[in-house]
């Protein structure tokens, strides 16, 4: 832990630095590949929950009844491959799509015979597709309003380039999360929508923290000739790197417990709805704030005329410094060679590259005792 803290201190003081902004083409390529895979998953279609497409929900409470046993019984009744899950209180939840023509009374009667449970012990809930459509429209409206408010806030608090970079990172996180949902085949429920909105807020929070540090580093940047905007942005990114990683790890630990322990080991399938969205979204948000938003911001800022002029001045300064350093090295090397030649008897020349004072005439007494 002390080494990690020491690394964070060095990153903040600039003693150690990772060139994230300079490798933006690499990050863009990685993000492009991930988004492409997510787009393929979206093309395959999302597994919408019954709340969005309508249908019937049957809840059965029978001690000892497993999900596999209930799935076998349901498959004998309908052919639409309904979703069978275990709930948090040990009950079995069966979702039958509205596309299946089996009536609820017919289904409960056959299910009662298959699993040996009275019809009265089977709780039935019918959901119409219009209700799911209302949820979808409200979720989309909330997302659009959120994006507009975020853009206005960032444009006022920072500038429009930061707003654009943050929005690109948000869309990047959404596409990846939704694409993974489609590839994994998890059901999209209202809990999933809540998870999506939650990760948007987290991703924006992490990005704003980095942008605030970059803004501080870029004050009066055009009045000097040592750092470009990309250099200042990369320094700000390194200063907040350890903080971002710590925040992400702390946030991912409880979400991972919900996903892998609650949903995987304990079989509480309802926990998967929100936990998978949070897990993928938090990881994607941390990546995008470091490798997408800040490099994109630096790229947009470098297109400004004053930043282009600054980049030229910095390049000239670095070239002059390199030339002066080379001249100093050449001068010191020449002095060493001259001193070595003067120490030799007449007619002898020291080998080139020999350090000063390392060549001594034969027979000359040594000063060492």
pLDDT > 70? residue 353: no
User: Which of 127, 156, 171 marks a domain boundary?
Assistant: 127
Residue closest to 95 by CA, chosen among 67, 137, 131, 133: 67
CB atoms within 10 A of CB 66: 13
What's the DSSP call for residue 269? Answer: G
Within this chain, do residues 59 and 44 fall inside the same structural domain, yes or no? no
Whole-angstrom Cα distance, residue 360 to residue 365? 9
pLDDT > 70? residue 248: yes
Residue 184: inside a domain, yes or no?
Answer: yes
What's the DSSP call for residue 219? Answer: T
Helix (H, G, I), strand (E, B) or coil at 14: coil
What's the DSSP call for residue 60? Answer: E
Token pair 């919900």 in the structure block, residue: 258
- Cβ–Cβ under 8 Å, residues 227 and 221: yes
Within this chain, do residues 246 and 156 fall inside the same structural domain, yes or no? yes
Domain count for the chain: 2
pLDDT tier at 322, thresholds 50, 70, 90: confident
- Cβ–Cβ under 8 Å, residues 172 and 35: yes
CB atoms within 10 A of CB 190: 16
pLDDT the model gives residue 292: 92
* Domain containing residue 276: CATH number: 1.20.1640.10
Task: Dump pLDDT digits (tens) for 67-88.
Answer: 788 888 888 888 777 777 777 6
pLDDT > 50? residue 271: yes
* Domain containing residue 111: CATH number: 3.30.70
Q: How far is CA 101 from CA 55, 79, 96, in A?
A: 10, 10, 10
pLDDT tier at 30, thresholds 50, 70, 90: very high
Q: Which segment of 71-75, 87-91, 345-349 scores lowest on mean pLDDT?
A: 345-349
pLDDT the model gives residue 29: 93
Beta strands 122-127 and 55-60: pairing type? antiparallel
- Over residues 260-271, the mean pLDDT reads 60
Within this chain, do residues 23 and 114 fall inside the same structural domain, yes or no? no
Distance of CA 40 to the CA centre of its chain: 20
Residue 355: inside a domain, yes or no?
Answer: no
Answer yes or no: pTM beyond 0.85: no
Within this chain, do residues 193 and 79 fall inside the same structural domain, yes or no? no
Helix axis angle, 24-44 relative to 294-301, nearest 10°?
120
Within this chain, do residues 149 and 255 fall inside the same structural domain, yes or no? yes
Token reading at 154: 């960032």
Full DSSP string of 349-368? -PPTTPPTT----TTPPPS-
Within this chain, do residues 105 and 228 fall inside the same structural domain, yes or no? no
């Amino acid at each position: 832990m002390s080494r990690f803290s020491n690394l964070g201190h060095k990153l903040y003081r600039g003693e150690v630095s990772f060139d994230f902004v300079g490798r933006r083409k690499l990050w863009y390529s990685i993000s492009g590949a991930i988004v492409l895979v997510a787009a393929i998953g979206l093309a395959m279609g999302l597994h919408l929950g019954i709340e969005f497409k309508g249908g019937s929900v049957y809840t059965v409470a029978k001690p000892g009844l497993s999900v596999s046993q209930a799935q076998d019984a349901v498959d004998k009744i309908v052919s639409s491959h309904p979703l069978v899950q275990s709930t948090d209180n040990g009950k079995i939840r069966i979702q039958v799509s509205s596309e299946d023509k089996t009536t609820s009374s017919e289904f409960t009667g056959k299910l009662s015979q298959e699993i040996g449970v009275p019809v009265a012990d089977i709780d039935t809930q019918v959901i119409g597709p219009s209700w799911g459509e209302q949820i979808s429209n409200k979720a989309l409206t909330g997302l659009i309003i959120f994006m507009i408010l975020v853009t206005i806030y960032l444009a006022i608090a920072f500038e429009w380039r930061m707003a654009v970079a943050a929005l690109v990172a948000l869309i990047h996180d959404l596409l990846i999360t939704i694409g993974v949902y489609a590839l994994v085949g998890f059901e999209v429920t209202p809990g999933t929508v809540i998870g999506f909105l939650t990760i948007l807020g987290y991703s924006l929070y992490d990005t704003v923290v980095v942008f605030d540090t970059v803004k501080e580093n870029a004050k009066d940047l055009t009045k000097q000739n040592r750092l470009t905007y990309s250099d200042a942005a990369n320094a700000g990114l390194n200063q907040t790197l350890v903080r971002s990683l710590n925040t992400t790890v702390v946030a991912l630990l409880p979400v991972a417990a919900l996903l892998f322990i609650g949903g995987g080991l304990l079989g509480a399938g309802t926990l998967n709805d929100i936990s998978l969205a949070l897990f993928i979204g938090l990881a994607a948000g941390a990546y995008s704030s470091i490798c997408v938003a800040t490099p994109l911001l630096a790229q947009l800022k470098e297109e400004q005329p004053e930043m282009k002029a600054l980049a030229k001045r910095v390049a000239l300064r670095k070239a002059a410094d390199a030339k002066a350093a080379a001249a100093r090295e050449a001068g010191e090397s020449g002095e060493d060679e001259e001193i070595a030649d003067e120490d030799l008897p007449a007619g002898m020349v020291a080998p080139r590259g020999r350090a000063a004072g390392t060549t001594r005439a034969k027979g000359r007494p040594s000063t060492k005792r």
